[in-house]
Amino acid sequence: MSLHDDFRGKKFVVTGGEGFIGSHIVEALLEREGEVIVIDDLSNGASRLKHLNSEKLSIYHEDIRRFNFESLGKVECVFNEAARALIPSFRDPITDLEVNVGGTIKVLDYARKFKTKVVHASSGSVYGNPERIPITEEHPLRPISPYGTSKLAAESYCGFYYRTYGVDVVMLRYFNVYGPRQSVSEEMGVIPIFVERALTRNRLTIFGDGSQTRDFLNIKDVVRANLEAYVAQGVSGKAVNIGGGGREISILDLAKLVMQLCSYDSEVIFKPAKPGDIRRLVADNSMAASLLGYHPQVNLEEGLVEYIQYVKDKHS
């Protein structure tokens, strides 16, 4: 059966579907002729779905903590993307907990009643500062931010609903995702900020000494991983790393690469490191490869060139 056949005519929910990752999942489901219901309270900015005009898309601008999921009846799968991001969690860890954990419990409860599959968005931040690189799923889980802690707690509830009620839930631990429609804000990701600054000929700022490393993951690979996780059998209750192509790059080298690709040459500004900033974050994707057939396909340079072009087009 092709990936297309698994989606055609079927009903899906995407929580956080107006967000960066969720909006790309929505597009992918519609392209495969699925029917999509989005639940998003727009708490992270404006709609990212305005360009879509499809009878197969319904959007509820509501808070998942209060949304009446049961009114939807049965759907095939919920892609649970709604969450609050990393930095605000230090200012307001309670709301973070309520949304990231409380919202997930609502989804799991619905899935239990309707025997619906859940593909849950978790995060590489559940590991905290790694003891070894690349990080496998067996690595100790010691998050160093309220956000990472809430994502780990949400995973625990997924495990509990799987073990106790047999809910078919798979957790995808995304590492650092980038791509079109990502917010350009200090709270959401370094690549959009670097590209924005380089294209507008403003010096790039690095928090810390720039030696901290990441393994950036292109949005197209994240979407592929979600579709594969929905189709995959025998993955219930598993938490699986979803990393990029395995290229560990320091933030300083990333800044240089972005400047080079934007034809901009300047010194960077260094500022003190932020709390919760993990030193090295690189995923071992072996489990995702064997369970989901996941193999990241977009290398960093290629993804950056495409992203830079997207930003240029948006501004022109």
Ligand X SMILES: NC(=O)c1ccc[n+]([C@@H]2O[C@H](COP(=O)([O-])OP(=O)(O)OC[C@H]3O[C@@H](n4cnc5c(N)ncnc54)[C@H](O)[C@@H]3O)[C@@H](O)[C@H]2O)c1
Instruction: Show which residues are catalytic.
Output: 147
Q: Which whole-number Å values give the CA distances from 124 to 193, 271, 308, in the listed order? A: 21, 24, 25
CA–CA gap between residue 17 and residue 26 (Å, rounded): 6
Residue 14 CB, nearest approach to ligand X (Å): 10
Among 37, 64, 111, 170, binds ligand X (CB under 6 A): 64
User: At a CB cut-off of 8 Å and minimum separation 6, what does 98 contact?
Assistant: 65
Residue 254 CB, nearest approach to ligand X (Å): 14
Contact window for ligand X (CB under 6 A) among 57-65, 68-76, 243-251, 274-282 = 57-65
First to last CA, the chain: 42
Contact window for ligand X (CB under 6 A) among 58-66, 135-143, 205-213, 288-296 = 58-66
Residue 19 CB, nearest approach to ligand X (Å): 2
Q: Is 106 in the site for ligand X (CB under 6 A)?
A: no
User: At a CB cut-off of 8 Å and minimum separation 6, what does 225 contact?
Assistant: 172, 174, 242, 288, 292, 294
Residue count of the chain, please give it.
Answer: 316
Residue 66 CB, nearest approach to ligand X (Å): 8
Identify the bridge partners of residue 240 per DSSP, sorted by sequence position.
172
Contact window for ligand X (CB under 6 A) among 34-42, 137-145, 259-267, 278-286 = 34-42
Q: Is 19 in the site for ligand X (CB under 6 A)?
A: yes
Q: Is 254 in the site for ligand X (CB under 6 A)?
A: no
Stretch (H or E) spanning 117: strand 117-123
Stretch (H or E) spanning 38: strand 35-39
CA–CA gap between residue 155 and residue 174 (Å, rounded): 13
Of the candidates 220, 273, 266, the one whose C-alpha atom is nearest the C-alpha of residue 251 is: 273
User: At a CB cut-off of 8 Å and minimum separation 6, what does 102 contact?
Assistant: 65
Among 10, 65, 220, 280, binds ligand X (CB under 6 A): 65
CA–CA gap between residue 187 and residue 193 (Å, rounded): 10
Among 12, 18, 152, 308, binds ligand X (CB under 6 A): 18
36/64 with CB nearer ligand X: 64
Q: How many degrees, rounded to 5, is the angle at CA 42 between CA 40 and CA 43?
A: 110
CA–CA gap between residue 215 and residue 224 (Å, rounded): 17
Residue 67 CB, nearest approach to ligand X (Å): 7
Residues between 82 and 101 with contacts to ligand X, criterion CB under 6 A: 82-85, 99
Residue 178 CB, nearest approach to ligand X (Å): 7
Q: Is 281 in the site for ligand X (CB under 6 A)?
A: no
Among 7, 13, 14, 16, binds ligand X (CB under 6 A): 16
Q: Is 42 in the site for ligand X (CB under 6 A)?
A: yes
Could you count the other beta carbons within 10 Å of the beta carbon of residue 108? 24
By beta carbon distance, the residue nearest ligand X is 19
Residues between 167 and 206 with contacts to ligand X, criterion CB under 6 A: 174, 176-177, 189
Contact residues toward ligand X (CB under 6 A) are 16, 18-22, 39-44, 63-65, 81-85, 99, 103, 121, 123, 174, 176-177, 189
